[in-house]
Amino acid sequence: MRRIVLHDTRTGGLQPLEPRDPGRVGIYACGPTVYGRIHVGNARPFVVFSLLKRFLAHEGYAVTFVANVTDVNDKIYDAARAGGVPSERLAREMTAAYVADTDALGLGRPDAEPLASETIEQIVALIATLIERGHAYAAEGDVYFDVRSYSPYGELSHRDVEQMDQGEGVDGASRKRDPLDFALWKAQKEGEDTAWDAPWGRGRPGWHIECSAMAEALLGVGFDIHGGGSDLVFPHHENEAAQTAAARGAPLARLWVHNGMVRLEGEKMAKSVGNIFLLHEALAAHGRDALIAYFCAGHYRQPIAYSAERLEGAARSVARIREAARRLAAGPSPAELAPLREAFFAALAEDFNTPRALAAVFDWVREANRRDEPTGDADLREMLGVLALEGLLDADAEGPDEAARELLARREAARVARDFATADRLRDELASLGWEVRDGAAGPALVPRG
Ligand SMILES: [Zn+2]
């Protein structure tokens, strides 16, 4: 097996991937909090860790990829109240929209997508263990983690304990023994329409404990890769790591891998800033191939700009590969091109360097095009398969135009909203343009009508 290294936030350097169970890799990546449609920035960890799974599977590992859905959270209560709908309904609808939006990326689903609301039993048990071991305390129906009881606290985010702010504001401030402490359980408040029973009172879990419990339930303690956006390092991941280590006496994960933010005009893309490009809009405008190529053109750890220039560049890359594919023949590739294939996989083995891997793809395409006879496409198919772009090689894969893609996105949105009359009308409109909608495991796709 090829030696694979990844950047680990805890140690601050490149670390070899040495799985807990030889030959098997468990990945947990923090998924969305479902209170609105997801934006391109939210999609980045989904893309990065889905592609990392493909690469590791190519290298011979049996990979289990878990991406949770945070469906119990203050943001959901706030958005539901503002919209005048029950929080449970908002969370359910936005979970369905998230699944539809990410399906359209054509990367398949993660192996497990646990919901916080379905993991309450494990969450309550984990909090009880923390109380028993002296790392947490109940106060008027809330439960807080006692940060100073766990001396390695800060080891993931490398922050000085005195400089930390849990971001919980005045909420619970009077019940905390120390301002550094953070909530594991919150007593039900006026206007919160979901709650569960627990030994210390009726309420609901804090965000951080949800992930500790969901990750352990599906992957056990000490799994291989914990991923997520770099904005989650503190406090979310610091707190996840502290909770599990304090309760179990063993680390939650071996490697902590963080992706950079998607930036619009230099600012982090976030709902609170208002500079959002919703994923389903981006997919309708650019198509999934260009969007995947756009993500691959940036190293996962670096921030990437979301700009017309970058997306046009990605569309050109995709067109170049499609164009080159027309001159290839099906079958094995010549040995002279093998070093370029090797360069592709070596780049991915070294901290999952997709821009360098893509450069190897273009070198391969250039060399193949220089040859007199048609070149066998096997190498290119293998490389593109890891990046989920193998569809570019299929004959006449010109793909639907922008109008058709937009109709598909609108039909998807109508379907998720259970407006089946509109969904059917849009399907008929697509049929009149020559496209048939096929709902597959990887989401809806447009295929030319026969
Ligand atoms: Zn999380």
pLDDT at 285 over 60: yes
In this prediction, residue 277 carries a pLDDT of 86
- Per-residue pLDDT reduced to its tens digit, 346-361: 999 999 999 999 999 9
- Edge to edge, the sheet with strand 62-67 lists 62-67, 24-29, 223-229, 253-259
pLDDT at 188 over 70: yes
Q: What single-letter amino acid sits at 185?
A: W
Higher-pLDDT residue of 400 and 246 is: 246
| Pairwise CA distance, residues 408 & 401, whole Å | 11
Residue 279's nearest CA partner among 394, 416, 186 is: 416
| Pairwise CA distance, residues 436 & 358, whole Å | 32
In this prediction, residue 235 carries a pLDDT of 96
Strand partners for 386? none
pLDDT-derived band at 172, boundaries 50, 70, 90: confident
pLDDT-derived band at 248, boundaries 50, 70, 90: very high
HSE-up of residue 412 (Cα within 13 Å, Cβ side): 30
In this prediction, residue 36 carries a pLDDT of 93
Residue with tokens 């339930």: 217
pTM: predicted TM-score of the whole model, two decimal places? 0.87
pLDDT at 344 over 80: yes
pLDDT-derived band at 373, boundaries 50, 70, 90: confident
How many A from CA of 119 to the centre of ligand 1? 13
Q: What single-letter amino acid sits at 103?
A: D
pLDDT at 147 over 70: yes
- Give the burial class of 175: count Cβ atoms within 10 A of its Cβ; 0-12 exposed, 13-18 middle, 19 or more buried: middle
Q: Tell me the pairing of strands 62-67 and 24-29.
A: parallel
How many A from CA of 227 to the centre of ligand 1? 9
In this prediction, residue 413 carries a pLDDT of 83
Lowest mean pLDDT among 109-123, 166-180, 250-264: 166-180
How many A from CA of 378 to the centre of ligand 1? 39
**Tokens of residue 415, six digits:** 């379907």
Peptide bond into 235 cis (omega under 30): yes
pLDDT-derived band at 111, boundaries 50, 70, 90: very high
Three-state SS string across the chain, please? CCCCEEEECCCCEEEECCCCECCEEEEEECCCECCCCCEHHHHHHHHHHHHHHHHHHHCCCEEEEEECEECCCHHHHHHHHHHCCCHHHHHHHHHHHHHHHHHCCCCCCCCECCEHHHCHHHHHHHHHHHHHCCCEEEECCEEEECHHHCCCCCCCCCCCHHHCCCCCCCCCHHHCCCCCCEEEEEECCCCCCCCECCCCCCEEECHHHHHHHHHHHHHCCCEEEEEEEHHHHHHHHHHHHHHHHHHHCCCCEEEEEEECCEEECCEECCCCCCCCCEHHHHHHHHCHHHHHHHHHCCCCCCCEECCHHHHHHHHHHHHHHHHHHCCCECCCCCHHHHHHHHHHHHHHHECCCHHHHHHHHHHHHHHHHHCCCCCECHHHHHHHHHCCCHHHHCCCCCCCCHHHHHHHHHHHHHHHCCCHHHHHHHHHHHHHCCEEEEEECCEEEEEECC
| Pairwise CA distance, residues 198 & 201, whole Å | 5
Which whole number is the average pLDDT over 157-173? 86
How many A from CA of 30 to the centre of ligand 1? 4
In this prediction, residue 4 carries a pLDDT of 98
How many A from CA of 268 to the centre of ligand 1? 19
In this prediction, residue 275 carries a pLDDT of 56
pLDDT-derived band at 449, boundaries 50, 70, 90: confident
How many A from CA of 365 to the centre of ligand 1? 40
| Pairwise CA distance, residues 446 & 437, whole Å | 5
Residue-averaged pLDDT of the chain: 92
- Per-residue pLDDT reduced to its tens digit, 32-48: 999 999 999 999 999 99
pLDDT-above-70 percentage for the chain: 95
Residue positions counted in the chain: 450
How many A from CA of 54 to the centre of ligand 1? 22
How many A from CA of 198 to the centre of ligand 1? 22
Cβ pair 274, 267 in contact under 8 A? no
How many A from CA of 302 to the centre of ligand 1? 20
In this prediction, residue 450 carries a pLDDT of 62
**Tokens of residue 270, six digits:** 């976030």
Lowest mean pLDDT among 99-113, 166-180, 224-238, 401-415: 401-415
What's the Rg (C-alpha) of the chain? 23
Cβ pair 379, 331 in contact under 8 A? no
How many A from CA of 143 to the centre of ligand 1? 19
Cβ pair 237, 156 in contact under 8 A? yes
In this prediction, residue 307 carries a pLDDT of 86
Residue 253's nearest CA partner among 218, 303, 216, 305 is: 216
In this prediction, residue 347 carries a pLDDT of 98
How many A from CA of 406 to the centre of ligand 1? 32
**Tokens of residue 132, six digits:** 């028993």
- Per-residue pLDDT reduced to its tens digit, 218-232: 999 999 999 999 999
In this prediction, residue 211 carries a pLDDT of 98
How many A from CA of 232 to the centre of ligand 1? 8
Higher-pLDDT residue of 431 and 96 is: 96
pLDDT-derived band at 329, boundaries 50, 70, 90: very high
pLDDT at 440 over 70: no
Higher-pLDDT residue of 42 and 397 is: 42
